């Protein structure tokens, strides 16, 4: 360390806390002694020691032999202004599929809505159905795209307001569930055969993956206690299908259309559909009460403006999201879901 100081022409003075021209051997020796691990003649605090080491490191790197000093001119300067970040409106898709699938389906739509409205909008990714519900209640989700069962919970608990419903690829603004089993399971061919079986459902807050099929079972004389077990697949439609495919469970419940998601992973011909539920109101876009009516109207108008048949770019946006358009919606559209929840004894609060 002493040699480096002399090369730079400086010595550190412990009394003044400064580097000075190298004219004081005593001080130079004192610094060298600290470097060799001996006890310093003057107590040094942790912060002071760190400052000494930091300045020493700078000198070691900046005062090497053969290096030319860099001249810095302060005549040419650029003022950097601070621009406060505008809070973005957050958009979330209920995580019935993986985050990758959610992003691939919706990032084009999020980009379109931001461009069309001039608003800053970004997609966020809850990990579970419960996360989605809690994040909405905490003000971390402003635009929620959910099944109608979760929507009713959000409306009842946090004042969510329905904006639009989607039009499915079959042209309907409703959807239904499917009850599936392995094709080679010859013991299960009807709803009655599901009694005493292992049932894997998507999530306790899933509409197509739990509420709708539960209502269908109840209508056909089966209660929850009539199954050997009812387990949930962590909110993922894919997990239900894979669990049935692997023989881990006898039957599964999914929203119609989910089999296509795993068509590149398994032979879906090995899965059969035992039955379908009734039709219920489709997936819904809802707004947080934190958003002003003007902002909500602007976003709703941008959604309704999408033209699947007449605009190629719009078609690409909607095709990626796996629906073909929107219809206006309000809270009354989901009274049927509230009635179903009451019938099967599921809590909406």
Tell me which of 53 and 320 has the higher pLDDT: 320
pLDDT of residue 98: 87
CATH 3.40.190.10 domain locations along the chain:
89-173+281-344, 177-278
d(CA 123, CA 236): 19
pLDDT of residue 84: 55
Distance of CA 48 to the CA centre of its chain: 45
d(CA 106, CA 313): 14
d(CA 54, CA 196): 72
Q: What is the pLDDT of residues 302-348, one digit of tens each?
A: 999 999 999 999 999 999 999 999 999 999 999 999 999 999 998 88
d(CA 267, CA 262): 8
Q: CA torsion angle for 249, 95, 308, 301 (degrees, to 10)? A: 140
The CATH class for the domain spanning 177-278 reads alpha beta
pLDDT of residue 35: 38
For residue 203, which of 152, 150, 159 has the smallest C-alpha distance? Answer: 150
d(CA 347, CA 287): 22
Tell me which of 11 and 193 has the higher pLDDT: 193
For residue 132, which of 104, 93, 100, 158 has the smallest C-alpha distance? Answer: 93
Q: Please check the confidence at residue 36 and state whether its pLDDT lies above 50.
A: no
CB-based contact 172:279 (threshold 8 Å): yes
> Both tokens of residue 321?
């999201």
Average pLDDT over residues 103-112: 96
Tell me which of 84 and 341 has the higher pLDDT: 341
d(CA 87, CA 342): 39
d(CA 283, CA 174): 8
pLDDT of residue 86: 63
* Angle at 79 (CA atoms; ends 73, 85), nearest 5 degrees: 145
Q: Please check the confidence at residue 229 and state whether its pLDDT lies above 60.
A: yes
Query: What are 229's strand-pairing partners?
Result: 198
Q: Please check the confidence at residue 38 and state whether its pLDDT lies above 80.
A: no
Superfamily of domain 89-173+281-344 in the CATH hierarchy: Periplasmic binding protein-like II (3.40.190.10)
CB-based contact 270:236 (threshold 8 Å): no
pLDDT band at 170 (very low <50, low <70, confident <90, very high): very high
Tell me which of 19 and 213 has the higher pLDDT: 213
Q: Please check the confidence at residue 28 and state whether its pLDDT lies above 70.
A: no
Tell me which of 238 and 12 has the higher pLDDT: 238
Length of the chain: 349
Which CA distances in Å does 57 have to 4, 6, 38, 60, 174?
Answer: 10, 15, 20, 5, 68
Q: Please check the confidence at residue 3 and state whether its pLDDT lies above 90.
A: no
CB-based contact 31:11 (threshold 8 Å): yes
Q: Please check the confidence at residue 37 and state whether its pLDDT lies above 60.
A: no
């Amino acid at each position: 360390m002493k040699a480096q100081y002399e090369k730079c022409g400086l010595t550190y003075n412990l009394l003044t806390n400064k580097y000075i021209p190298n004219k004081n051997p005593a001080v130079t020796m004192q610094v060298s002694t600290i470097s060799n691990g001996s006890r310093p003649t003057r107590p040094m605090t942790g912060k002071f020691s760190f400052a000494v080491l930091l300045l020493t490191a700078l000198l070691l790197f900046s005062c090497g032999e053969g290096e030319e000093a860099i001249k810095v001119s302060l005549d040419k300067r650029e003022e950097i202004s601070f621009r406060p970040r505008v809070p973005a409106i957050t958009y979330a898709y209920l995580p019935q599929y993986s985050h990758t699938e959610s992003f691939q389906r919706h990032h084009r739509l999020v980009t379109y809505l931001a461009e069309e409205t001039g608003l800053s909008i970004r997609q966020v990714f809850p990990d579970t159905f419960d996360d989605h519900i809690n994040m909405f209640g905490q003000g971390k989700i402003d635009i929620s795209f959910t099944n109608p069962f979760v929507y009713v919970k959000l409306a009842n608990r946090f004042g969510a307001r329905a904006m639009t419903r989607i039009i499915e690829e079959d042209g309907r603004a409703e959807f239904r569930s499917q009850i599936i089993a392995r094709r080679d399971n010859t013991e299960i061919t009807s709803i009655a055969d599901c009694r005493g079986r292992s049932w894997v459902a998507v999530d306790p807050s899933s509409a197509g993956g739990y509420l709708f099929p539960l209502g269908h079972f109840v209508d056909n004389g089966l209660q929850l206690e009539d199954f050997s077990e009812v387990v949930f697949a962590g909110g993922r439609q894919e997990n239900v299908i894979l669990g049935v495919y692997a023989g881990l469970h006898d039957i599964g419940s999914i929203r119609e259309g989910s089999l296509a998601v795993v068509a590149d992973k398994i032979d879906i011909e090995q899965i059969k559909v035992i039955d379908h539920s009734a039709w219920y109101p489709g997936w819904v876009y809802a707004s947080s009460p934190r958003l002003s009516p003007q902002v909500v109207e602007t976003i709703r108008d941008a959604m309704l403006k999408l033209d699947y048949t007449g605009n190629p770019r719009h078609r690409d946006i909607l095709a990626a999201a796996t629906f073909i358009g929107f219809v206006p919606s309000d809270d009354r559209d989901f009274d049927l879901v509230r009635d179903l929840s009451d019938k099967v004894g599921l809590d909406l609060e």
